[in-house]
Chain A
Amino acid sequence: MIEIKDLHKSYKMGSNSLHVLKGINFRAEEGELVAIMGSSGSGKSTLLNILGMLDGADSGEYTLDGVPIKDLSETKAAQYRNKFLGFVFQSFNLINYKSALENVALPLYYQGVPRKERQEKALKYLERVGLKEWATHLPSELSGGQKQRVAIARAMAAEPKVLLADEPTGALDSTTSYEVMDLIQKINDDGNTILVVTHEEDIAHMCKRIVYLKDGVIVEDKKVKQVRADHYV
Chain B
Amino acid sequence: MFNRDRWREILEVLTSNVWRTLLTSFGVSWGIFILIVLLAAGKGLENGIRKDFGDIATNTMFMWTRSTTKAYEGLPKGRSFEFKISDVQSIRDNVPNLRFVSPRNQLGGFRGGGNVVRGIRTGAYNIYGDYPEIINQDPMTVTSGRFINVNDINAKRKVAVIGQGVKNDLYKKGEDPVGTYIKIQGVNFMVIGTYKKNSSDGDGEEAQKEIYVPFTSFSQAFNQGEDVGWMAITAHDGSSISVLKEDIIELMRKRHKVHPEDNRAIGHFDLYQEFNRVESLFGALKAVAYIVGVMVLLSGIIGVSNIMLIVVKERTKEIGIRRALGEQPWSIKKQILMESIFLTVVSGMVGIIFGSLVIYGINSLLDSIGPVDMFLSPSVSIGVVSGAMLILTIAGLLAGFIPANSAIKVRPIEALRTE
Contact = CB atoms under 8 A, between A and B. Distances in A.
Interface of A: 49, 52, 54-55, 74-75, 78-79, 81-83, 87, 89, 93-95, 97, 106-107, 109-111, 115, 154, 158
A44 to B, nearest CB: 14
A54 B325 contact: no
Contacts of A97: 12, 16
A78 B327 contact: yes
Contacts of A111: 326
B197 interface: no
Contacts of A55: 411, 413
Given A109-B5, A115-B4, A49 B413 contact: yes
A115 B321 contact: no
B326 A54 contact: no
Given A74-B408, A115-B4, A54 B416 contact: yes
Contacts of A94: 321
A106 B12 contact: no
A54 B412 contact: yes
Given A74-B323, A97-B12, A158-B325, 13 more contacts: A54-B324, A54-B413, A55-B413, A74-B329, A75-B329, A78-B328, A82-B326, A89-B416, A95-B322, A97-B16, A107-B325, A115-B4, A158-B326
A217 to B, nearest CB: 22
Contacts of B4: 115
Most buried by B among A49, A79, A94, A109: A109
Most buried by A among B324, B408, B411, B416: B324
A110 B325 contact: yes
Give the interface SS of chain B, mostly helix, strand, loop or mixed.
Answer: helix
B416 A110 contact: no
Interface in B69-118: none
Contacts of A87: 324-325
B277 to A, nearest CB: 59
Most buried by B among A49, A78, A83, A95: A78
Contacts of B318: 95
Interface string B383-419: 0000000000000000000000000100111001000
Nearest to B13: A97
A49 B330 CA distance: 22
B331 interface: yes
Contacts of B331: 110
A93 B331 CA distance: 20
A82 to B, nearest CB: 2
Contacts of B330: 75
A78 B333 CA distance: 14
Interface in B305-354: 317-318, 321-331
Contacts of A82: 325-327
B335 to A, nearest CB: 12
Nearest to B318: A95
B17 to A, nearest CB: 12
A116 to B, nearest CB: 11
A13 B325 CA distance: 29
A78 B413 contact: no
Interface string B1-40: 0001100000010001000000000000000000000000
Contacts of B5: 109, 115
A79 B329 CA distance: 10
6 contacts: A54-B412, A54-B413, A54-B416, A81-B325, A110-B322, A115-B5
B10 to A, nearest CB: 12
B16 A110 contact: no
Contacts of B321: 93-95
Given A54-B416, A115-B5, A79 B326 contact: yes
B413 A110 contact: no
B326 A78 contact: yes
Contacts of B327: 78, 82, 110
B12 A154 contact: no
A53 B227 CA distance: 99
Contacts of A52: 324
Contacts of A158: 325-326
Contacts of A79: 326, 328
A154 B329 contact: no
A92 to B, nearest CB: 10
A134 to B, nearest CB: 20
Nearest to B327: A110
B326 A83 contact: yes
Contact of A107 (B12, B326, B329, B411): B326
B324 A81 contact: yes
A94 B12 CA distance: 16
